[in-house]
Structure 1
Amino acid sequence: MEPIYKFHFKRDTLSSQMYISSCALDEVLNGRSINFFLDSLDHAIRPSVQSLTFHALRHLGWADFVGNHLVKSYPNSLFRSLFLLSLTLLKFSSTCSKNLDLQVPVYTDFTIVNESVKVANSISFLRPYKGLLNASLRSFLRDASGISMLAKKSSKATWNYQEWWIEKIKTNYPTRWTEILSCADIQAPLTLRVNIKNSNRDNVLNLFNDNGVEAKAFSSSGIVLGRSYSIKDLPGFQQGMWSVQDPGAQLAAPLLCVKDGMKVLDACAAPGGKTSHLLELAEIDLMALDSNKSRLGRLQENLDRLNLYSKNIKIIEGDAKQIGQWWDGKLFDIILADVPCTSSGIVRKHPDIRWIKKNDDIETVRLIQSGIMDSLWKTLVPGGRFLYSTCSIFPEECIYQILLFLEKHNDALLLDSPGQILPTISNVLTVGHDGFFFALLTKAKI
């Protein structure tokens, strides 16, 4: 079935972008991730829709507070989404905002209200409420400063997270909680990892410079871009010269010290960012395991594009906990367990996470993580290395998980590891990164 927006709007108008963004926001407000929704969009329209949607999600707590102050009851869920999106745009409009240096969509008050009402007038089940929408948005504009002052009394409206999330970060990081929460309000820079088997960083930087792409180097093989670009249109993408990867995630593969000839397992491997990094570092026999067939397809595509696929690589669909389904009994020298988690460390790139996750999800994924570790440990050779990795900042999924594992497994030894990496913002000296946890273990030779 084709998307409904194709029958109502010209795709290059703000009203069409606002409508599609409202549909995406409605997914989140109903507890669903927007990944599939965004992936279904045409390549040409996705950047503008994603920009609007991510902006709304980064300020959704504030908008929800203001919306409840202005409208007693929403006539339907799409009205609510359109109204909240419009409020987040008005908060940073060219007349309301004093922070125009932030990377946010900026339009005039008139444009925002006019385009929002145009959306309502174009959709049959929103049309009866276009007057309510128009009046409510103008009510906000008449008392924007007063309403915004009221919002400051709400922690959810101030920090734009669910209350339980705010309290958990406060409790676990009492001296850094405001910094951690604030990091996610700023768009992450686009960072790349050069494929050293296919090119080198100087060549890629020269290629970017020749094509007017703002870029600079960081770490051993990283590149950070000066602004947003369409990934597939960047020079070197089709030739497999680089991959998109967060600076924090780029730390994982080097920790394992892979060498030629090693037998390596990348569990929970898709879509293959760390898989490809391992293959770039040495000539290894690698099994890439994941339970998601469609994501494994993306892994295969990435390895093909990077020219890294070979007969020494096995891509297997299977459950990491059920080793009888896929393990041939031969022990691995290296295991990377990038386990499922709440993804609480990557909300800067995935702002829907802070609204769709529940406190109970932490215990659910903790049990899954524990089961994966216990099973995979049986497949590691004595003296081998095992890297436990998450993109979470909740201790239950990170250091507490490792401490429990060490209690259960007398043959497990914790090596020098980065441990908890908290999200940071880029500055003139360093490139910011998302939140990750890395624990490097070895199995004792008994």
Structure 2
Amino acid sequence: MRTGARNRRTRRWSAAVGIAVLAAASGGALSAPAAAEGEIPTGQVEFPTHCLPPQEAGLPPADGPTTARITVDNPAPQVGDTVTVTYQVAASPAVNPAGAELPADALTPTGRVLLSGAQSGEVTVVGAKRNDLVRAGATLPAVTMTGTFTVTAPGQTALAPGAYTLHTSHPLDLDTTCAPAVEPSAVPVSARLTASDLPTANLRSVFLASASGKPGAKVKVTAAGFAPGSAVTIAGRAGAAETADRVTAKADERGTAVAELPVTDKATTAVVAYEGAAWSARQGSGPAAYAIVDATPTTSRRVVATVEPGALAMTQTGEDITLGAVPYGDGGAAPGRIGTVTVTDARGGPAGWSLIGKVTDFTGPGGVRIPGASLSWTPKCVAAAGSPSACAAGSVGVVGPEGAVLASTADAEVVGGTFTIDATVTLQVPRYTPPGAYTAVLTLTLS
């Protein structure tokens, strides 16, 4: 946890969706963009399938290969993110069970996607009632199904196609159920995602009742933000090293520990508090300055100068951020940038800082939403000349409602400085998103 002022700034985003003329053909299965001729789409797999037609159809079981593909909208989520899964069946041995022509838009698909690895289980997917006319005895057409699940564990998760059901509603309600004709572990993996843990903030801090005193004087120390019931060490510090001054106190139910620290070591220039065997940026507070005033009568005089620690602060230029427009029907990337953010670290302690951004869903006309996970960014960060710390830009990728690191500095013996941060952003607008302005809120948190 790091000391210093914690600043939060919220920016409002709007993405204008342009209007284009749309020519739509009736019917047809939902599908991903077509691959080049002769090219197998990424993630497409094939597995043996056993399809059971409905008893009412009087048809024998159908065995053969299913050609399928699974895709995810976010292959690198954080724990807690919601991931959208798309299961496409391009070819199936299942045939029209109606005994006659099956009219358009009379087929509803449902299915399961199998998860294994860091996270296990099944995801239920459902497709729209959308198909072209199917001749009597012909194989059923390609279908697309979607569903969502919440990421609960960090690491790599594999996604494989599972059983699917093709429900036809003409002239009767009939279900054709198709399942892999192999063990679940033998079904080929079609997609993978790698999840990461959310960053955690350190809120530990320490406050002194007095910033100076005679050798041996006791100073009242209040340490806050610790785990309730934990043993908190309160110690003197001289630069990056601890001095001989030390006491231990127990944190109450609010995570606050109060103690009196006798300051006898003349090397002590600051006081810190921490959990565990030794101070660390994750387990400890930043330093609070303290000066020993030696009043021993001598012919000489000591001159004591105290450098007061400053704050960790953030400012940002501009107000609302407007992304570029995209044409209705085509969808695509709406580009923009967040505007310059300036971080000033004048705390004087050993702890670095992190700047994390989170974005809500984009809301447009009639409550239509574009998920916040559709917004990605490319951060950059530059440290001003003379800054002790080097600034690391966050990773290129999804921002989303759970947040991502925009920039940070590492813990070090000497830290601080002024840092200029910016990021280009891109909102992926789905095809046929209703025209209008879509607005979200971006929150930047500095700690």
Same fold, TM-score > 0.5, yes or no: no
**Structure (1/2) with the larger helix percentage:** 1
The TM tier, using the shorter chain, reads: under 0.3
Task: Give the TM-score of the pair, scaled to structure 1.
Answer: 0.25
With structure 2 as the length reference, what TM-score do the two structures score? Answer: 0.25
| Larger of the two Rg values belongs to structure | 2
Structure with the largest fraction of strand? 2
